[in-house]
Amino acid sequence: MIEFEHVGKRFGERVVIEDLSLRIDDGEFFVLVGPSGSGKSTLLRTVNRLAHVDSGIVRVDGRDVSSVEREALRRGIGYAIQSVGLFPHRTVAENIATVPRLLAWSDADVRARVAELIDLLRLDEPGIADRYPHTLSGGQQQRVGVARALAARPRIVLMDEPFGALDPVTRESLQTRLKAIQRDTGTTILFVTHDMDEAFRLGDRVAVMLDGGLAQVGRPLDLLHRPVDDRVRDFVGGTHARLRELAVRTVGGSMRVGDRADGEPVDAADSLQDALASMLAQRRDRLPVRERGAIVGAIVLGDLVAREP
Amino acid sequence: MRGVDASLRGLGRAPFAGRLAPTLRIVVPLTVLVVLLLVLPHSGDWFHAWLPELSHPLYTRTSFAALTLTHVWLVAAATAASVILGLGLGILATRPSGRSLLPTVRAVAVIGQTFPPVAVLAIAVPLLGFGSAPILLALVLYGVLPVLGQSVAGLEQVPASTLHAADGMGYGRWRRLWEVELPLAAGPIMAGVRLSAIVSVGTATIGSAVGATTLGSPIIEGLIGNNPAYVVQGALLVGALALSVDGLLGAVERRFQRVR
Ligand SMILES: Nc1ncnc2c1ncn2[C@@H]1O[C@H](COP(=O)(O)OP(=O)(O)OP(=O)(O)O)[C@@H](O)[C@H]1O
Ligand SMILES: [Mg+2]
């Protein structure tokens, strides 16, 4: 659990965070979005004390972070950043092992955990564990960065645009991995991004940060359907909002149960955006829906268009 | 520290040493040095044949082996002190609390190198007397500069994102220095150490002008007493020693550079 209570932060004259309060629950995937310079990274860093607050309190699991020994606090919180910051003089395995080593895990535990993470993040190119970061592709480096953040099984992980510089395909596969890992482990993740699609795909809740304050906090659909003002509306997508919504909803929730249709079926767990793409590709306005191998209903284009919030 | 970098690059490409394979750069000068030490004491006849007008064609006041040993000892002591001082100051100047020192440190390092070592001797002798002390002081003052410059340059070029990540992982300040910064700066630092040692090998010779026993003794005595044979004998040994040190420390430096 992460709590911000009336947090304020300034750099010199410039107020970067102003009277911000927020509570992130255990096991929640919480995403911060907002334009450049709105203070997202700074807010994230107040949690592991890479930035200290000028006023207010940040609590992790109920404890004021300023009362916890700094190194101990940081070793207990995972941290991944866009620039990755892998240690160039250490192999992939050594990089991943950083925090477990700082925590003085036994060699056997460290080795087992590294192997597990290499597997978990699909870093399965033969021999990759013993390679140095400069021999990896950008995508592989980001994976190692995420693996390093997760290595000591922290209950809280801070991620600052960890998939920043990746192509859409790699990015999406990493998002899917991360979301699955987070669900399986019940980790609390505070995630910063510029990318609205990423925010909606990953976040249980999303906060829009504007000028050092939270303009709106809510589930993705709340933000799409009931933006509190025009700035949030513009930021979450303007006229593209309905298209984004399709990415958040699943086929299962909008299908006509028991109906029939021709064509290549879509999966009930797929997003409506995937279903729409399939309809366009097949030039059909209805498609069969499959769930656990059986056809259970149909999805209809008219329903997607007409659907009221 | 551009100046240091440039002069280092110059040294790395020294006319013939630069083209030799790495192991040859150690083996050849060391072999030459050993052969010289074995042959020179018995080379009186050759020097007599070359310069028949000299009554004493071979320097015998102190054995060449003893001269080389004291010379090496002086250089080693000066280099060790330079590393401790230079690296220490370099680390200090790159800490958040010491950052205000950085411009001063840079300025001193640059100005210091324009200050001739002979002038240091001239100031040191009245204070420390004759012998090894004044030349040791001059060597340390001089040797500190490249180590300091390269330490600062090496520590400054560690990527900011790496340091940020290290902090975020929970490294303490000193542990970060030891496990992240120093390994990443080791290449440039070793380049500074090498330069410092080589400069010392050459500079130590003038110590003989103020009473230290070094390979400069035959050179200086030869210059004063108009005996070119002495000068040649001293110069040959100094040259072979400088190249040996360069080869050995160059190998260490390359090892560290491969760390990345
Ligand atoms: N160490 C610092 N010193 C001075 N100003 C800073 C510092 N760090 C951040 N700022 C300023 O604080 C403001 C917020 O920065 P922050 O990095 O939190 O924004 P952000 O929302 O993460 O932006 P981006 O999306 O571009 O990463 C910016 O105006 C930035 O210039
Ligand atoms: Mg940022």
Atom of ligand 1 nearest to the CA of A43: 18
Please state the length of chain A.
309
Ligand 1: residue whose CA is nearest its atom 29: A37
Interface predicted TM-score (ipTM):
0.86
Tens of pLDDT along chain A (309 residues)? 999 999 999 999 999 999 999 999 999 999 999 999 999 999 999 999 999 999 999 999 999 999 999 999 999 999 999 999 999 999 999 999 999 999 999 999 999 999 999 999 989 889 999 999 999 998 899 999 999 999 999 999 999 999 987 888 888 889 999 999 999 999 999 999 988 889 998 999 999 999 999 999 999 989 988 999 999 998 887 777 788 888 888 898 899 999 999 999 999 989 898 999 999 999 999 999 999 989 999 999 988 887 665
Residue that is written with structure tokens 């102003």 in the block: A18
- Spatial separation of the C-alpha atoms in residues A288 and B37, rounded to whole Å: 93
Query: For chain A, percent helix, then strand, then coil, each to nearest 5?
Result: 40, 25, 30
Q: Low-confidence residues of chain B, pLDDT below 50? A: 1-15, 17
Minimum Cα–Cα distance from A69: chain B residue: B170
Residue type for position B56: H
* Closest by Cβ to B164, choosing from A76, A81, A148: A81
- Spatial separation of the C-alpha atoms in residues B239 and A241, rounded to whole Å: 77
- Give the tokens for residue A144: 């190692």
> Using CB atoms within 10 A of its CB, is residue A116 exposed (0-12), middle (13-18) or buried (19+)?
middle
Atom of ligand 1 nearest to the CA of A192: 22
Alpha helices in chain B (DSSP H): 2-12, 22-39, 44-50, 64-93, 102-113, 117-128, 132-156, 160-169, 173-176, 182-203, 216-224, 228-257
**Per-residue DSSP letter, A135:** G
Interface of B with A in 146-165 (CB under 8 A): 159, 161-165
Minimum Cα–Cα distance from A132: chain B residue: B260
Ligand 1 pocket, mutate which of A16, A18, A36, A158 (most atoms under 8 A from CB): A16
**CA–CA distances in Å: residue B8 to residues A106, B11, B85, B192:** 43, 5, 20, 8
**Per-residue DSSP letter, A25:** -
* Closest by Cβ to B169, choosing from A83, A89, A102: A102
Atom of ligand 1 nearest to the CA of A212: 14
Spatial contact of A237 and A196, defined as CB atoms under 8 Å apart:
yes
Q: Inter-chain contact A71–B170, Cβ cutoff 8 Å?
A: yes
For chain B, what is the radius of gyration of the CA atoms?
A: 21
> Using CB atoms within 10 A of its CB, is residue B39 exposed (0-12), middle (13-18) or buried (19+)?
exposed
SS (H, E, C) B95-163: CHHHHHHHHHHHHHHHHHHCCCHHHHHHHHHHHHCCCHHHHHHHHHHHHHHHHHHHHHHHHHCCCHHHH
Contacts of B163 in chain A (CB under 8 A): 85
- Spatial separation of the C-alpha atoms in residues A275 and A250, rounded to whole Å: 9
Instruction: Provide φ and ψ at A58, rounded to 5°.
Output: -110, 125
Ligand 1: residue whose CA is nearest its atom 25: A36
Give B60 Cα–ligand 1 centroid separation in angstroms. 72
Contacts of A86 in chain B (CB under 8 A): 162, 165
Question: How far does chain B reach from its first CA to its final CA, in angstroms?
Answer: 22
Give A41 Cα–ligand 1 centroid separation in angstroms. 7
For residues A209-219, one letter each, b for 16 or more C-beta atoms within 10 angstroms of the residue's C-beta and e for the rest, the string is: bbebbbbbbbe
Give B164 Cα–ligand 2 centroid separation in angstroms. 13
Q: Inter-chain contact B170–A50, Cβ cutoff 8 Å?
A: no
The DSSP element (H or E) to which A31 belongs, if any, is: strand A29-33
Minimum Cα–Cα distance from A149: chain B residue: B169
Phi and psi based region of residue B252 (left: phi greater than 0; alpha: psi -120 to 50; beta: remaining) = alpha
Sign of the dihedral defined by the CA atoms of residues A239, A241, A242, A247, in that order: positive
| pLDDT tens track for B6-43 | 444 444 444 454 555 778 889 999 999 999 999 999 99
pLDDT at B46: 92
The torsion of the CA quartet B238, B243, B245, B246, rounded to 10 degrees, works out to: 140
B169 at interface of A, judged by CB pairs closer than 8 A:
yes
For residue A295, give every residue at least 6 positions away whose Cβ sits within 8 Å of its Cβ, in sequence order, or none: A260, A265, A288, A289
pTM to 2 decimals?
0.85
Q: Inter-chain contact A84–B171, Cβ cutoff 8 Å?
A: no
Give the three-state DSSP class for A215. Answer: strand
Angle subtended at Cα A282 by Cα A277 and Cα A285, rounded to the nearest 5 degrees? 80
Contacts of A158 in chain B (CB under 8 A): 168
